[in-house]
Amino acid sequence: MTVPITLDDLPIRDDLRGRSPYGAPQLDVAVRLNTNENSFPVPERVVEAIATAVGAQLRQLNRYPDRDAVALRIDLAGYLGHDLTAAGVWAANGSNEVQQQLLQVFAGPGRVALGFTPAYSMHPLLALGTGTRWIDGRRGPDFALTATDAAAQVAADQPDLVFLCSPNNPTGTALDPAVITAVLDAAPGIVVVDEAYAEFARAGTPSALTLLSAHPRLVVTRTMSKAFGFAGGRLGYLAAHPAVVDAVQLVRLPYHLSALTQAAARAALAHRDALLGSVRVIMEQRDRIVADLRRLGLTVADSDANFVLFAVGGDQRRVWRALLERGVLVRDVGLTGWLRVTAGTPEETDAFLAAMTELAALTEPAR
């Protein structure tokens, strides 16, 4: 008979006690707009290409995969451009693993990481998991981050690693490159720009990739989960100076990226035009959500991502539950009075906006 114990009975680390795992609710509802997935399924011809590529690896599963994923890194460098080569690109199982590896090698016990909240909530959890002390940086009342303020905070705290998000999650706003440059000038260590949603940025929004050649301590992380609709494939990557890639390999697990993942990701990259074809439609739905919510009198953050942060006033949990009762699942990101909705298909947008119009009486524009 199994001895009845609970998590509290186990000798886990003291700094993990009382904490909950990261994760959004996984509920079976008609319209799921809470995890910023690409709502469009993988096109059939891409499915066939991925199946063929993965199938070719099956008879060799008795052998370890390419430990360094060189062919995949060559393909990723070709996709990113900016004169990158495989030496300046690294891939792992989602950008979360990439960022964890960066913390393992450049932060860890006795070191400090800083991020400007609200931002991606996994960053402090990754810091916790690697024994890194976390500092919450401040944003302005409108979630803005200026070059002067960001640099002053970095200069004061002297973190070993700084996280920036552009576009930022959950606000959706992209950073002015001047902010990134100011932080690089003030930071003593590594600066990581999380560009998970870069493909959705509005026209003219520059990527931090443009700064790489002049800043060897800059790292740009990306993912195939969002724009590529490859969330189930779990493929994230970084672009940086080759020396940074060498450093990350000091802590990567051996053969961390399976042969099947590498093959599937390469096939997806080879058909990127088909996969990225949904990006324009998603951006149109995002802009439609922003415009229609503002017509309802709500305060809405400008977005360069595939989601929208909007104010509902008062208790956001009440509106979250009311939307769920109408078959629409959005995200409560823990910001009082605010909710986040993913931009999905036109039909999903119809359902969300219809529900919000019906609930307009329950919401109060933020003051």
pLDDT beyond 90 at 1:
no
pLDDT beyond 80 at 167:
yes
Q: Are 107 and 226 in a shared domain?
A: yes
Query: Domain of 245: which CATH number?
Result: 3.40.640.10
The tens digit of pLDDT for each residue in 221-278 reads: 999 999 999 999 999 999 999 999 999 999 999 999 999 999 999 999 999 999 999 9
pLDDT given for residue 21 in this prediction: 86
Tokens linked to 358 = 């019906």
Q: Are 355 and 253 in a shared domain?
A: no
Number of CB atoms found within 10 A of residue 139's CB: 19
Last residue of a domain, which of 273, 299, 320?
Answer: 273
Q: Are 26 and 131 in a shared domain?
A: no
Tokens linked to 337 = 């009075």
Query: Domain of 289: which CATH number?
Result: 3.90.1150.10
As a whole number, mean pLDDT of residues 315-319 equals 94
Domain of residue 160, residue span: 44-273
Residue 251 falls inside a structural domain: yes
Cα 182 to Cα 184: distance, rounded to the nearest angstrom = 5
Domain count, the chain: 2
The tens digit of pLDDT for each residue in 15-58 reads: 999 888 887 778 889 999 999 999 999 999 999 999 999 999 99
Q: Are 54 and 167 in contact (CB under 8 A)?
A: no
Cα 68 to Cα 249: distance, rounded to the nearest angstrom = 9
The tens digit of pLDDT for each residue in 71-127 reads: 999 999 999 999 999 999 999 999 999 999 999 999 999 999 999 999 999 999 999
For the chain, what is the largest distance between any 2 Cα atoms, rounded to a whole number of angstroms?
63
The tens digit of pLDDT for each residue in 188-230 reads: 999 999 999 999 999 999 999 999 999 999 999 999 999 999 9
Q: Are 175 and 145 in contact (CB under 8 A)?
A: yes
> What are the residue ranges of helices labelled H in 119-197?
122-129, 147-157, 177-186
